[in-house]
Amino acid sequence: MSKPLRKVVFPVAGLGTRFLPATKVVAKEMLPVLDKPLIQYAVDEAVDAGADTLIFVTNRYKHAIADYFDKAYELESKLQEKGKAELLALVQGTLPRHVRAIFVTQPEALGLGHAVLCAKPVVGDEPFGVILPDDLIWNGQMGAGAGKGALRQMAELADAQQAGVIAVEEVPHSDTDKYGIVDATPVDDRSALIRYMVEKPKPADAPSNLAVVGRYVLPGRIFQLLEQTTPGAGGEIQLTDAIEALLKEQGKVLAYRFEGIRFDCGNKAGLVRATMHMAMQDPKLAPTVRAFLGQL
Ligand code: UTP
Number of domains in the chain: 1
Question: How many whole angstroms from 275 Cα to the centroid of ligand 1?
Answer: 21
Residue to substitute in 8, 12, 239 for testing ligand 1 pocket (most ligand atoms within 8 angstroms of CB) = 12
Question: How many whole angstroms from 283 Cα to the centroid of ligand 1?
Answer: 34
Q: Is the pLDDT of residue 142 over 60?
A: no
Residue 19: inside a domain, yes or no? yes
pLDDT at 277: 95
Tell me which residue range forms the domain holding 126: 7-295
Atom of ligand 1 nearest to the CA of 236: 28
pLDDT at 61: 82
Q: Which of 260, 274, 214 is nearest to 35 (CA)?
A: 274
- Residue with the nearest Cα to atom 8 of ligand 1? 14
In angstroms, how far is the first alpha carbon of the chain from the final one? 50
Question: How many whole angstroms from 15 Cα to the centroid of ligand 1?
Answer: 6
Residue to substitute in 28, 31, 43, 103 for testing ligand 1 pocket (most ligand atoms within 8 angstroms of CB) = 28
- pLDDT band at 29; cut points 50, 70, 90: very high
**Greater confidence, 69 or 144?**
69
CATH number for the domain harbouring residue 75: 3.90.550.10
Percentage of the chain exceeding pLDDT 90: 87
Q: Is the pLDDT of residue 118 over 80?
A: yes
Question: How many whole angstroms from 17 Cα to the centroid of ligand 1?
Answer: 9
Question: How many whole angstroms from 14 Cα to the centroid of ligand 1?
Answer: 4
Percentage of the chain exceeding pLDDT 70: 98
Residue 246: inside a domain, yes or no? yes
CB 230 within 8 A of CB 114: no
Question: How many whole angstroms from 163 Cα to the centroid of ligand 1?
Answer: 26
Residue 267: inside a domain, yes or no? yes
Residue 228: inside a domain, yes or no? yes
* Across 172-187, average pLDDT: 94
Residue 1: inside a domain, yes or no? no
Residue to substitute in 24, 116, 132, 241 for testing ligand 1 pocket (most ligand atoms within 8 angstroms of CB) = 132
- pLDDT band at 4; cut points 50, 70, 90: confident
Q: Is the pLDDT of residue 146 over 90?
A: no
Atom of ligand 1 nearest to the CA of 110: 28
- Residue with the nearest Cα to atom 3 of ligand 1? 266
* Across 7-33, average pLDDT: 94
Pairing of strands 253-257, 191-199: antiparallel
Q: Is the pLDDT of residue 144 over 60?
A: no
Q: What is the DSSP string of the chain?
A: -PPP--EEEEE--S--GGGTTGGGTS-GGG-EETTEEHHHHHHHHHHHTT--EEEEEE-TT-HHHHHHHS--HHHHHHHHHTT-HHHHHHHHTTS-TT-EEEEEE-SS---HHHHHHTTHHHH-SS-EEEE-TTEEEESS-SSTT----HHHHHHHHHHHHTSEEEEEEE--GGGGGGSEEEEEEESSSSEEEEEEEEES--GGG-S-SEEEEEEEEE-TTHHHHHHTPPP-GGGS--HHHHHHHHHHHHS-EEEEE-SSEEEETTSHHHHHHHHHHHHHHSTTTHHHHHHHHHH-
CB 9 within 8 A of CB 57: yes
* Across 17-44, average pLDDT: 95
Question: How many whole angstroms from 266 Cα to the centroid of ligand 1?
Answer: 9
Question: How many whole angstroms from 282 Cα to the centroid of ligand 1?
Answer: 30
pLDDT at 143: 53
Residues with CB under 6 A from ligand 1: 11-18, 28, 57, 106, 109-112, 114-115, 132, 134, 266
What average pLDDT does the structure give for the chain? 93
Residue 191: inside a domain, yes or no? yes
* Across 104-118, average pLDDT: 95
